[in-house]
Structure 1
Amino acid sequence: MAERPSVWTVVVAAGSGTRFGGAKQYLELAGCRVVDRSVAVAAQVSDGVVVVVPAPDVSSEAAKLSAAAVVAGGPSRAASVRNGLAAVPLDAAIICVHDAARPLAGADVYGRVINEVQSGAAGAVPVVPVTDTIRRVDGGVVDRSTLLAVQTPQAFRGELLREAHARAGDATDDAGLVEAAGHAVVAVEGHSRNIKITRPDDLAAAEAWLAT
């Protein structure tokens, strides 16, 4: 049986929570902080977890989080991921990147993206169908059958993710950077419960999911 490649995860929890109205990653969700839930699941499937938090919180969070390293975020999401990558061992074969604001991502979703990369893909992202009707700003309805909503965790071959970030580009997610570097990223099945905590009602929805 082939040896499993090393897997590390960077959990990005460096946002200020402007749209939420505060640092949502530290809020309690059914008795556990949002960031702690995200880190706990990442740890189940990873050889090590690096957590990226706001710079002022590094010392206090290093004492609270069960992680291999806690590092300061940067001025953008991509910069924060790069700071996290710097703390990941160079021999990590597969690197996952996960937004702490998605605390309900399960080990099954991690498994699907990791398996795709282990099978040879440059990267893999979980997706779900778009169910809302989408309109263009200038008018007209977009055919939602051609759209997919992208989630995290996203998994990549370690050297390709580092290569993409070395270009110092910026994107809303890491798959965009890897694709811009010329590599194909495949889509796998995500999960409807893997919601992103963006506004207060999202936290209530996450609590409802946990209660089911």
Structure 2
Amino acid sequence: MARTWAIVLAAGLGTRFGTEIDGVTKVWAPIAGRSMVSWSVDAARRACDGVTLVVSAAMVHQPFDGVDAVVAGGDSRSASVRAGLETVPDGVDVVVCHDAARPGASSGLFGAVISAVGAGADAAVPALGVSDTLKRVPEWGEGGGVVSGTVDRAGLFAVQTPQAFGREVLATVHADQAEATDDAALVEAAGGTVVAIPGEAAAHKVTTAADLVIVEALLRARVADDGL
């Protein structure tokens, strides 16, 4: 059995959400009775052998339940992943990176991406087909922008987290301090094999306060169905 480790990323400021609501930064906001971080850590713990939580420098000395290590993040998402990687112990085969701002991701979704890497992929990501019509708007101002074309959405998918990686693959693509919006992009650029598995509607990313309402409804439905 491959040994697995999760890196849960909770160091961002959440500026599009509104940096604070009632004095709480985004990923610490309550949702369905618990913080977003708590939901994300719990799902990671159910699926992985160990969990590292990456937080802001101001919170690194706070106690957190359910994690094996806590580390301060960097100035970017990629830098925060690298900080988390430094805590992963020897003997771990698969590393899973997850954004705490996706509290609805289930432990089953973690297990699915881990299984895909175990089957031979360098990386595995959850993805959902794009349902909206997509337009190109090269420049967007306060009053909007001018559409330059419509994008064919056939074959286009929105990618979520958790994302799983072979431990050595992830360490290698981060060795030169590369930056990307997700780690799978770094694996793609290096020529690695990235596979997509079906994502989950509940793994929706909380970016705005409206997203919080959507995900809370999905999580409350899960609690009612599963008693979690």
- Which TM bucket (shorter chain)? over 0.9
- For residues 165-201 of structure 1, the C-alpha deviation after alignment (integer angstroms, 9 at most, x for no partner) is 1121000000011112221111111011210010001
- Pick from 27, 48, 51: which aligns with 2:50? 48
Matched, 1:65 2:74: no
2:113 and 2:163 in contact (8 A); partners too: yes
Structure 2 equivalent of residue 195 of structure 1 = 204
- Pick from 7, 10, 17: which aligns with 1:10? 7
Distance 2:95 2:176 in 1: 17
- For residues 104-125 of structure 1, the C-alpha deviation after alignment (integer angstroms, 9 at most, x for no partner) is 0011211111111111111100
Alignment map for 1:49-198 (pairs within 5 Å): 49-60=51-62, 63-138=63-138, 139-198=148-207
How many aligned positions are there?
207
2:47 and 2:108 in contact (8 A); partners too: no
List runs of 5+ in structure 2 lacking aligned partners.
Answer: 20-24, 139-147, 222-228
TM-score (norm 2): 0.89
Distance 1:52 1:211 in 2: 26
2:73 and 2:83 in contact (8 A); partners too: yes
Structure 1 SS opposite 2:80: helix
Distance 1:65 1:136 in 2: 44
Matched, 1:33 2:30: no
Task: Tell which deviates more after alignment, 176-185 or 30-39.
Answer: 176-185
Structure 2 equivalent of residue 24 of structure 1 = 26
Structure 2 SS opposite 1:75: coil
Structure 1 SS opposite 2:103: coil
Structure showing greater Rg = 2
Distance 1:25 1:123 in 2: 25
Of all paired residues, the percent bearing the same amino acid is 48
Structure 2 SS opposite 1:59: coil
Q: Which contiguous aligned blocks of 4+ residues in structure 1 show a shift greater than 4 angstroms?
A: none
2:130 and 2:157 in contact (8 A); partners too: yes
TM-score (norm 1): 0.95
Following TM superposition, by how much is the alpha carbon of 1:65 offset from its aligned partner in structure 2, in angstroms?
3.0
List runs of 5+ in structure 1 lacking aligned partners.
Answer: none
